[in-house]
Chains A and B, each alone.
Chain A
Amino acid sequence: MTREELQAALTELQSSLTFEEGGEWLNINAPAENFHELALKLRHTSGLDFDYLFCQTCVDWKTHLTMVYHLTSMTHRHNIVVKIKLDRNNPEVTTVCDIWRTAEFHEREVYELFGVNFLNHPDLRKLILPDDWIGYPLRKDYDDPVNMIKL
């Protein structure tokens, strides 16, 4: 599908979506509520079939956090980027690892590095950092005077 067709099809799925101008692929802003439903629709609606989550990460904008999901369809070869704005003090979003299983590891990584809480995740533990680590290293206000080398 082309960019315009994708935009039309996605508006039909959920009218509360907004779209960003520019960028290589279609950028979609979605609300955190009912994100799981939207994700299920993206995965299973015929014609869309976004079956491959190739990148999942988070960006700290100092005022809020944004979850970024890069999705592609292995059959139709079209890509979209879904973004979800989260409250920085209490970031919560439903897990998508029952839909795309690769998300299980990616969400554990985001959980420890950004402090995002993934609801219904089967095994939300630290993956990379030691269990007793305090703080979220990839947040912009994180400071570690001992281990961080300022360049």
Chain B
Amino acid sequence: MFEEVASTEQGDLVINIGPQHPATHGVLHLVITLNGETVKKVEPHLGYIHRSIEKMCESLSYRQFIYVTSRMDYLSSHINNHGCAMLVEKALQIEIPSRAQYIRVIMDELTRLASHQLWWGAMAMDIGALTPFFLAFREREMITDIMEETCGARLTMNYMVPGGIMYDIHPDFCKKVKEFIKHFRSKIDEYDELLTGNIIFQNRMKGIGILSKEDAISYGCSGPTARASGVSCDVRKIYPYEIYDQLKFDEVLATEGDSFARYQVRLVEMHQSMNIIEQLIDNIPEGEIQAKTKAVLKLPKGEFYTRIETARGEFGIYVVSEGGTTPYRIKFRSPGFSNLSALDHIVRGHKIGDMVAIMGTLDLVIPDIDR
């Protein structure tokens, strides 16, 4: 049943963190009840960047609504777009050419790498280490440069269209990706040396913010947050899409469920993403990049649901169609929203300094939560 709502006693201190605060990585507002330095309760207040994307999408066509989702989880914008394109393809039963499938998967994994790199830097900054932030951005820059060359943008790529991808890859794409992988393989060891083995870092991470397997499932957590608690929930493995079922990679699992496990899962996932890219980059088949689709897309009457694994977890799109050119109702199940709901549970009883570290390992992106 419910945890007892902590009552405010005399001597308790209620403080606000955010909406503008560097540790919340965006406009998240937390109302925290403290007893001394111990957290008794955390109440998230959302909505500071709520744009009502779901309502907006009700008046956008099936070609347009894809690009609004870039503005939700802006670090996984490619994967969000991919999910939406897949939903339209699933509903209209469009087969997409294999060249497009390969490029989509490579782009997804590059996005995942870039997202995890930013998380690594930002999380280290939350606990007081500033150097990792600069190191992570140095390598992330290489990925954004590759993206910029092919997609024309660095953050909101808008590269996916129903039926395939918008343009073919840049002639230098494969060469640059291979260079990046080679470079990053040596740098990720540097990440390990700098932070993972550091005893001060380990003391702040191990045994802190434990999320049990049962709680992770009950709170609807997904992605690395849930996998660190031993929940097997990688959409790429369980419900494979595109060509993930032909690829060799492992679902990264840990059992401890603490901050350190969440940290390690993401770090190992970066290795896995590089493995996936290496399997594909030399074998991109020649051919079309887009299947033939009608200029105006009309989804058949009914309900459709697609899920896809973003860097943060399972992103779900639920569309109710009345047979028209726009969705009747659309719901985005964002991974951050469910992961945030577990925050109060795992932070209770910890010190306020640990709360910031725990939030860092949950890898929250606020526009993704607010939508």
Contact = CB atoms under 8 A, between A and B. Distances in A.
Contacts of A104: 341
Contacts, number: 84
A127 B47 CA distance: 7
B59 A54 contact: no
A151 B338 CA distance: 31
B238 A77 contact: yes
Interface residues of B, number: 42
Given A101-B341, A138-B55, A54 B303 contact: no
A123 B337 CA distance: 17
Interface string B215-227: 1011110100000
Nearest to B316: A55
B217 A137 contact: no
B333 A55 contact: yes
A100 interface: yes
A150 B54 contact: no
Interface string A123-151: 10001111000000110000000000011
Question: For the complex, would chain B's binding face be called helix, strand, loop or mixed by DSSP majority?
Answer: mixed
A57 B331 contact: yes
A70 B59 CA distance: 25
B34 to A, nearest CB: 19
Contact of B218 (A100, A123, A129, A130): A100
Contacts of B345: 101
A98 B1 contact: yes
Q: How large is the interface on A (under 10, 10 to 19, 20 to 34, 35 or more residues)?
A: 35 or more
Given A22-B302, A52-B217, A122 B2 contact: yes
Given A55-B333, A60-B329, A98 B2 contact: yes
B1 A102 contact: no
Nearest to B218: A101
A147 to B, nearest CB: 9
Interface in A5-41: 22-25, 27
A80 B47 CA distance: 30
A54 B340 CA distance: 14
A81 to B, nearest CB: 8
Interface in B251-306: 302-305
Interface string A101-114: 11011100000000
Interface of A: 22-25, 27, 51-55, 57, 59-60, 68, 70, 74, 77, 81, 97-98, 100-102, 104-106, 122-123, 127-130, 137-138, 150-151
5 contacts: A27-B303, A54-B316, A74-B217, A74-B232, A128-B50
Given A70-B305, A105-B338, A105-B341, 14 more contacts: A23-B303, A27-B303, A54-B307, A55-B331, A57-B318, A59-B328, A70-B316, A70-B333, A74-B231, A101-B219, A127-B45, A128-B46, A129-B47, A138-B54
